[in-house]
Structure 1
Amino acid sequence: GHILYANPTVQDLLNYRPLNHVKQLKQIDPGLYGLFENLQPFESTIHSLGNERGKKELTLKCTPISIEGQQLLLVVVHDIQKELDDRETDSWAKLIRVLTHEIMNTITPITSISESILKYFKKGNELTTPEEFGELQIKNSAKGLEVIKEQGNDLMSFVQSYRTFLSVPEPDRELIPATKILEKVRLLLQEYTNAHDITLEVIAEPKDLELYIDEKQLTQILLNLGKNAQQALEGQEEGKIVITAGESPQGKKYITVTDNGPGISPEMLDEVFVPFFTTKSTGTGIGLSLSKQIMRLHGGSIRVTSNETTTFTLTFQ
């Protein structure tokens, strides 16, 4: 438990000096002390630290080292609050840009058509008399109002998608065999893949792997990823989708969805999880952001890489 050396930076971060023993951390934050109490090498973890100087988000990573034959543990502590603030600001900017784009696309024709119809009913400040209002004006007004109605319905659907994104229920989790959920997804995707000459393969390793998940929510994510992969492979020869469930050497359980389609450009990789962002001519662009929300509620994450193949990776706690 003795701290042989603590540099000035970590003492400033923890607002405590001198640091000589891990028990001193209990006075700083009991949760932080809990990480150090039985210290073992661990992967990078995040800990929220609040004190009179404000809130900090600390990443901690513990690595074994040997100095002159003595086995020691080196703990690296880094304050990532600024990075998180920058990322949050960037995420808001992306979301607002997409929202304003979608809303303007819907409202602009409504405004334009409304002005055109209004000209049939008013000349300057005077209302048009019934005698001046002809059959052509009636037909054009009816067509214009139909377009306004359609645009209004589209905007309502868009808002409903936003409400769906914000109201994802807490997962009702239970241990589910990975083979069960993969087979279910395979059957749901198979009709499309068979009709479009796409190979679909599901793999669970080990065979008895179990996932602590909300089965309905995870099925929704995998179906969305599978359909995205199908659309990416449309018209491509020897298209292939592989869905794999496994466990990393560190004991983290995961599911990957990989396709050999044209891939996602580096510029788009940072945008795909932004709500309502889409490169398709149809759809709301809510699927991937909803998937990210569901994984966050599971205490996990979703990541994407795209080189020769495109792979979405779901990682579970």
Structure 2
Amino acid sequence: MLVTLFSASLWITILSASGTACWLWLKRKEEPALIALSTFCLSMAAWCFGHIAALEGYEQTARSLLLANPLLPTCFLHFVLLWLRGSIPIAAQSYRYIPIIYLFAITVSLLSIWGDSGYIEAWNVFPSFFHINSIGWLNLLYTISVGIVAHILLLYGYRNNQGNKRRSIIAMFAVSGWGFSLATSFILPSLKIDFFPYPMLALPSYAVLMVYSVMRYRLVEVNRWVSQAIQWLAILVVSMLLMSLLLAFVAPVAMTELATVPTLQLFIYSSILLLLAWLLYGPAKQFSDRLIYPGAALDEATLNQWLLQLNMATSWQTLAKTIEQLWQKNVPSLKGQTIGVKIMTATGDVVVDHPSNTLFMCIKRGDWSCHLTGWDDIPPAQQHMAELLAALVPNACTSLDRSIQLAKIEAHAERERIKQQHLIELGGLTAAIAHELRNPLNIINMASAQTDEVIKTHIRNQVARAELMIRDTLSYAGKIELKTSCQDLVNITQQVIMQIKNVFSIEIDLISEEKLIGQYDRERIQQILINLLENAAAFAGSVPDGKIELQLSRDTNNNSLIQVNNNGPKVPSEILPHLFEPFITQRSGGSGLGLSIVRRIVDAHQGHITHSDQLGWPVSFVISLPETLAPATQAKKNRNKNN
């Protein structure tokens, strides 16, 4: 019984490996490395046939095939070099030595065959089995060495590749470990170990799994075939279990003849029946489809053509039109029947609405889906075709949605690039204008010395205001470059408060920790505080008992927090969405750029600023600054998160 199972396992391996080799040969144009993998599968089949020859007592044939063992890892090494030569230099350099490597493998094989390398002898339950001796061990050692070299190259490939190729390498290592554990049990008789080589019963899986580990991420059809194979294997196993249970219950009562049928024969009969069912499934399905859905026969090529046309759509309107055209061209019996398409995005926006009693409804709820509405009175054949078309639409919607989002991102990036270029040009223009304006302002300022004191004061105030506007305009239009160093925010704030108190007669309270150390640009932080405090003083000074409060602290993420509160009038609600844009708010004597400049400086420090009227004050500005600046990429992510 065990010998029969062993022989069946070898024959299945021969058939599966040979079939896989033929399939790989047909696919060689898609990937040149598949030629070597095809040869590997043929070598595997030849090695198994050598064991069959040993079981049948054909010693010379068995010795020739089994001692050609070095060709098996050599073919695998050939495949690895071909597969990886585009990604690792050592593979490209070593590939030129492939003829020499094959010559070595052939030489070792021939020397082993001519020498005293092995013999056939009864062992365990086998009437004859191959035993290795003397030179045969060197043959095996060389075989293992070549396999190790191939896997070292795969390790290099793992380090130098990403994505599916790396996943394939991981899978190949797993399959190689599996194959090694299966195949090495054939040396048990040579080691004088009297134990049946059970692992070799699973040998049919090795060649198929090795090819699957390579092709899984390259050809979608492979995954479909494997899925079907697993389904049929599961059906076979369940059928055998059910048959065993049936025989166990029925045999004692009747059908004693059936109970005496050997299990192997039942297994073979079941396998043949399932194979016939699998072969007949396609024609039977076609027959039933034509019977139930007359006139609705669609082959895979037509469906692929439909999918290709749907994926070519460049807009939602184009996609809807393509769906309608495909329907009209392929369903001639319903030419008078109009169909409609409705497409709704995740936000609930209806981007296409072509109304009709029979509708293709496409909706995005997490993933895209397409279902049919109003098709109850349509003949079954046309309903079936509509279902097939609807099954293809979500893929096209997903592809188009992704393309539209990418186009939006690219358009936004282009707008940002133009905006940055405009700011650079504006900065240069502003600097030139500021230089030209300052000269006449200086002349006006000097000329005012000879005027009346009241006029002189008025002129100097207006000149100072003009200077302020020039300074703020230069600051806003120019590029903000930080000169950071270790600074104490508490110390900077105390100095700014003293300056503000010299100009404005208003109460300013400071609530802070002893020190708040971080990497900041001292002058820019002063500019932030001056702008915010001047704004607060101007507005709080317009109400009785006007007051300003500054709070300095750290949040749970160790960011420095600057909170500037004042009890002046609230910011009008219509201004809030545009509060930090230039010229939106303009206090008396201001430039209208103060908050915009503050926002730019805070952004440069990789922080963020917010306004609130819910912190116990009519007006509060809260600034969060990181303790240290992050690299540029991380900073961009933080800004996107905050926005």
**TM-score with structure 2 setting the length:** 0.25
* Greater per-residue strand proportion: 1
Instruction: Specify which structure has the bigger relative contact order, considering alpha-carbon pairs within 8 angstroms and separated by 6 or more residues.
Output: 1
- TM-score normalised per structure 1: 0.48
Tell me which structure has the larger Cα radius of gyration.
2
